[in-house]
Chain A
């Protein structure tokens, strides 16, 4: 299994752990952190390139939750709850530290990304080209578009969870995802799809 960033685990265990955490068990706090740390770090890294900042935010996030554990409700969506809280925390901290000018918009993974060819160990050259092209298409999306495909396909959150994390309405979430996929498909289609069809539909 490759160094996976997206892993599934039984939701019922997560909910059970959450309840135990709420009842004040420090072991449950440790396990909850262990379970979600990597995903949260990965998500945080999309908003800022400063690893220390992300680590601080994650620690504060869990300590805040611990302190007000009596006031927070039971949830079956622990992961999206944590994601939402982290997003909010990074946003707030950024404003406090005056890190960005336009507080209305969080930039999401917006650095110009060049995937190094060596990092792509894929079956053939043709696929490498495709991946480089797709990566460029993703770079050209808006921050929100990038975030939604990241949450849906990379972190595997469902619509309801994305709605919670991004603070969008249900319909807007569905529309945004639909538009984004359409855009990717159209841009990719210009060169990519033609080559691809030729290759695979012989």
Chain B
């Protein structure tokens, strides 16, 4: 489950995974925990070894609510800190990269006569099977849903001169560039989230391991579970570009753009890590991977680090409104009485919202592209 890497990619996914722990641990009862129980707890270990603002928020709260556990927590912390000091041992980055290149080079030399041929075939076969089952599943699901309500498709086109922010119901954020359009289901289906893009957009997709997020853009499909990335796919361009900022995405092409779900003979599938980019050449129907050189800017949202000290929640929410260009509905008077110490860096919108809500005992809801915060306020 865990691994030891310090590159940005895993730093990112670390936060994603921790975030899931955060939610899981939410329900736990710590009053019965022993030192060993804390040591065994993944979320706890991560808090000690590589803390994040969310984990700080969460575990400080646990400590505050279980003061009798302070000694056990302290012991477990000391144990882990000792191990960290004792066991850490790193390899210089350049040695590692050199070895990895070496491995790939030596491996590809051995198979060079018929390089990717069998791989593609078996991949296609797998995909065929997957496609068939997905089709069956989607078909069944669609039929099921169809009985209750008709599918509502929303199309948003950005005719303005500025970027347009769209908030989806799963709290994913899409920043649509001018001259681009995005169509999506008003309500995502049970097993996946699908949108169709024409033009260029930056995506910040909320984590949901059970519901992959699929972006169809010209002849390509980009599949993610929770990451941020940019896609540039204008109808008249000869290329489709996908650049990853955080997390990991997979990109594959579909030969038949009219009926992508049925004809599944891809020309391959490419995995992308942060700062990597793939370009799909539409004439040659080929995917090629490069390191992003700002040809498509992966980074688009205002990602300055925000530190709040005893800041009214109303002010933090206003900042979020401005940063994301999204409406947040809340009781100004009520929430100005809630003070918060927190720090936001790379978290996604839903992580920020959850952290704030958890801290002040509030809840949030997304309807019609707007966020509504429900809170009873804080007793000063």
Contacts and interface: CB of A to CB of B under 8 A. Distances in A.
Interface of A: 1-13, 16-17, 19-20, 23-31, 33-42, 45-46, 51, 54-55, 58-59, 62-63, 66-67, 79, 109, 113, 115, 119-120, 122, 127, 130-131, 134-135, 138, 149-150, 152-158, 161, 181, 184-185, 188, 193, 196-197, 200-201
A6 B371 CA distance: 36
A149 B5 contact: no
Contacts of A156: 1-2, 42, 45
Contacts of B6: 3-5, 7, 38
A43 to B, nearest CB: 8
22 contacts: A3-B6, A5-B4, A5-B84, A5-B89, A6-B4, A6-B45, A7-B4, A8-B14, A9-B10, A10-B13, A39-B2, A41-B4, A42-B4, A42-B89, A55-B99, A58-B99, A63-B107, A66-B107, A79-B3, A153-B39, A185-B35, A201-B71
Contacts of B144: none
Given A5-B87, A6-B49, A188-B75, 19 more contacts: A4-B6, A6-B3, A6-B45, A20-B269, A30-B103, A33-B103, A35-B5, A39-B3, A58-B99, A59-B106, A66-B107, A115-B85, A115-B86, A130-B78, A134-B79, A156-B42, A158-B1, A184-B79, A201-B71
B237 to A, nearest CB: 25
Given A5-B88, A8-B2, A154-B83, A31 B273 contact: yes
Q: Give the secondary structure class of A's interface.
A: helix
A196 to B, nearest CB: 6
Interface string B234-277: 00000000000000101000000000000000000111010000
Interface in B91-106: 91, 95-96, 99-100, 102-104, 106
Contact of A34 (B7, B39, B78): B7
A45 B89 contact: yes
Which of A9, A51, A109 is packed against the most chain B CB atoms within 10 Å?
Answer: A9
A1 B5 CA distance: 12
Interface of B: 1-7, 10-11, 13-14, 16-18, 35-36, 39-40, 42, 45-46, 49-52, 70-71, 74-75, 78-91, 95-96, 99-100, 102-104, 106-108, 110-111, 116, 118-119, 122-123, 126, 209, 225, 248, 250, 269-271, 273, 289
